[in-house]
Structure 1
Amino acid sequence: MFDTSPLHAGDEGFFARARAWTLSGFTINTVTAPALSVVRTNTLIRREPVDHWAITLSKRSATWLDSGSATLAAEPGLPFVVSLGQPMKNKREADDRIQLYLSRDSFHGIGTLLDASCMRPLQRAGATLLADYMRLLLRNLPSLDEEDALRLTDATRAMIAACLAPSASRIGEVQPLVNVTLMERVRRAIRRHLHSSTLGPELICREAATSRSQLYRLLEGEGGVGHYIQKQRLSEAFALLCDPPATTTISAIAEMLCFADSSSFARAFRREFGVSPSDVRDAARGGLPPLSASAGVNEAGTGSFAACLRGVPPPASAILDLRP
């Protein structure tokens, strides 16, 4: 398929790791590799005449591409589209990447959109949403049963179309998956700042690239933004208290997770789990199983990834705000 060689002079060979899931009509691939130069020539296309589209999401490295008729500098964190039926060369530094290889037979319905997106920067809002969907897809794929996995092609086709060329009708088709994807973006933003006293709607909106109204609607089923943040902090506290070697005091955990004092922390903890922080710590140090399950996150308002694949309708309040 490709001629591949180490990018830096003097390298002899290289070590890389790849993992792939082959589904109905497309493949999901993860690759960890050093700095590389990759070429697909006309000779290779004649020898291996695969003309799939490839959507690539790089984690760490920019990618420089040249197809002869167009060039593209793709920044990390934003996906880009190429066609394997077109000669190209690219280079990038050491990277971890996710790739979707899309069969033209299975994705011909959005072929015009994909061809128009090849070797072009994608609109940032749609590209960010597509990147989040690719990460969500990769994380959930190993846990999906066969019946849910069979639904992935239709769901992925609709999601790609909505991200490449957003419209009210396309967004409506994939609103449940959009909500789950945005919820994951919000969750990551909150997890990054759990220990920060500035964590609130303004910070979350900025980091998750969403509007305040969208955030409020998304977390309405969780009791609101403040309640959701507290549940995440309590879940983190529960995990810390279940670690027998940990020496951090309960009052220090309360302070670290931005509770006003240890008393308010203990009251909130007991309301959430039905036991006190000291009871959980004592059980863990005594080798007993946890006295209560972790709070986790109840995302019934947006639905699980598998549920969305089964066509669960979006909540009545669902909207989409793709910020430029």
Structure 2
Amino acid sequence: MIPVRFTTNDLPIREQFDAWQGWFEGVFNVALAEGETGFAASSVVWTLDEFGLSHVKAPALTAMRDTALLRSNPIDHWVITLGGSRTIGSGGAGVTLDVPASVPYVASLGRELVSQRSHDERLQLYLPRDSFRELAPLLDAAQAQALDTPLGRLLGDYIGLLERSFVELAPADMPRLTNAVRAMVLACTGPSSDRLDVATSQINLTRRERVRQFIDRNLRDPGLDATRLCSEVGMSRTQLYRLFHDDGGVARYIRHRRLLRGYADLSDASNGASINVIADALCFEDASSFSRAFKQEFGLNPRDVRAAAAAGLTLRIRPEELRSETPSTLRECLLRF
């Protein structure tokens, strides 16, 4: 899936903010924070048949959707936003907006909205009312509220997982993806036993991703084990073991991730570390135990992978499908779904 990209980074400083305002024209009025001189910013938007996702990186600003804008551009999608910094403002009808960093919140483009934040990166999941009408009571009730609960934060992790997954998705995956997003949003914004049951696979997927990220950040730590994981990701030992039962258990999964890192290190022709050093850094007893585990996992010896990398045989290019028409504004992206 190819996203639509817009950036002001290559423009002269005096033109950057005007260009950014043009990108958001019809959706938000954008005000520059006091003291800002340039406005180097970027927006990446993935548009699907029934929903969209954007990744915005921008300096401090205030985004506003007032009555005049509602009348002239009546887009009423819900937006679930995950920001990297605190967001303050209002959600219309006297509702105050005050959301901590890294906590998702719900806004409706069908209502007045003021969103003020410092320089950050944020993900925004756009859900059209026609495609997600069954979510209306829950999302309208959650308007301008921080989803600062365990399930709310899990929804934030899930939105991040969506972004990382888009590059691997095929058109045939889209209907299933829409249903998965619907189930996950329902479960995390209005949890009930029925909704949690329906979204179990998505919840488990997100929990696995959270654990995987922690493991990958700590592969070189010999103290990495199930007890540490339970403490760091807020999960019981039973939940953790169930999550990785099909992987042969938690220890087996950690070893698998360490071997994958070893494979990456060996495939890097610029990495001159010896196999013994790589094995030691990844907490294997010695080069022999690393080589045995590596051969069992990949069917190759570490020396084979290193030799292939030296010969330039590891490069693989994925074909990409291009779109014939590229939207020029965020509004055009939103009108596609």
User: For residue 116 of structure 1, what is the amino acid of its counterpart?
Assistant: A
Instruction: Find the counterpart in structure 2 of residue 295 from structure 1.
Output: none
SS of 2:285's equivalent in the other structure is coil
- Counterpart residue number, 2:13: none
Alignment of 1:279-294 (within 5 A): 279-285=304-310, 287=311, 289=313
Deviation readout 1:279-312 (Å, 9 max, x if unpaired): 3323433x0636xxxxxxxxxxxxxxxxxxxxxx
* Structure-2 change in CA distance of 1:288 and 1:81 (3 Å): closer
Residue 215 of structure 1: aligned partner: 240
Identity in percent? 42
Query: 1:312 maps to which residue?
Result: none
Q: How does 1:45-194 map to 2 (within 5 A)?
A: 45-58=70-83, 60-67=84-91, 69-194=94-219
Q: Which deviates further from its counterpart, 242-251 or 16-25?
A: 16-25
Cα distance per residue 1:199-232 (max 9 Å; x no partner):
1112222333322111101111111111111111
More off after superposition, 136-145 vs 166-175 = 136-145
- What are the within-5 Å matches in structure 2 for residues 13-32 of structure 1? 14-32=39-57
Distance in structure 1 (CA, Å) of the matches to 2:307 and 2:176: 46
Q: Is the 8 A contact 2:103 2:148 kept in 1?
A: no
Deviates more, 1:252-261 or 1:262-271: 262-271
Q: Tell me the distance in 1 between the aligned counterparts of 2:167 and 2:307.
A: 35
The answer on whether the counterparts of 2:52 and 2:127 sit within 8 Å (CA) in structure 1 is yes
Conservation of the 8 A alpha-carbon contact between 1:7 and 1:91: no
Structure 1 unaligned runs (5+)?
A: 291-324
Partner of 1:42: 67
Q: What is the aligned-residue RMSD (CA, Å)? A: 1.8
Unaligned runs of 5+ in 2: 1-26, 315-337
Q: How many residues align structurally?
A: 287
Q: In structure 2, do the counterparts of structure 1 residues 142 and 259 end up closer, same or farther at CA, with 3 Å as the change threshold?
A: closer
| Paired AA for residue 192 in structure 1 | R
Judge conservation of contact 1:65–1:91 (CA < 8 Å) in 2.
yes
User: Which protein has greater RCO, CA pairs closer than 8 Å, 6+ apart?
Assistant: 2
Contact 2:183 2:199 in 1 (8 A): yes
Q: Output the CA distance in 2 between the equivalents of 1:118 and 1:162.
A: 16
Work out whether 1:246 is the aligned partner of 2:271.
yes
1:269 aligns with 2:294: yes
**8 A Cα contact 1:23 1:150, kept in partner:** no
Counterpart CA distance in 1 for 2:297 and 2:181 is: 37
How far the C-alpha of 1:157 sits from its partner, in A, is 1.5
Q: Distance in 2 between matches of 1:27 and 1:139?
A: 14
Supply the AA of the counterpart residue of 1:135. Answer: G
Normalized against structure 1, the TM-score is what? 0.83
TM-score by length of 2: 0.80
User: Which amino acid counterpart does residue 61 of structure 1 have in structure 2?
Assistant: S
The runs of at least 4 consecutive aligned structure 1 residues that moved more than 6 Å come to none
**Aligned equivalent of 1:206:** 231
Distance 2:258 2:188 in 1: 32
- Please tell me whether the aligned partners of residues 5 and 13 of structure 1 are also in contact (alpha carbons under 8 angstroms): no
**Contact conserved, 2:103 with 2:152, CA < 8 A, in 1?**
yes
The worse-fitting range, judged by mean Cα deviation, of 62-71 and 35-44 is: 62-71
Counterpart code for 1:50? I
Q: Distance in 1 between matches of 2:278 and 2:170?
A: 38
Q: CA deviation at 1:125?
A: 0.8
**Cα distance between partner residues in 1 of 2:269 and 2:143:** 52
Determine helix, strand or coil for the equivalent of 1:104: coil
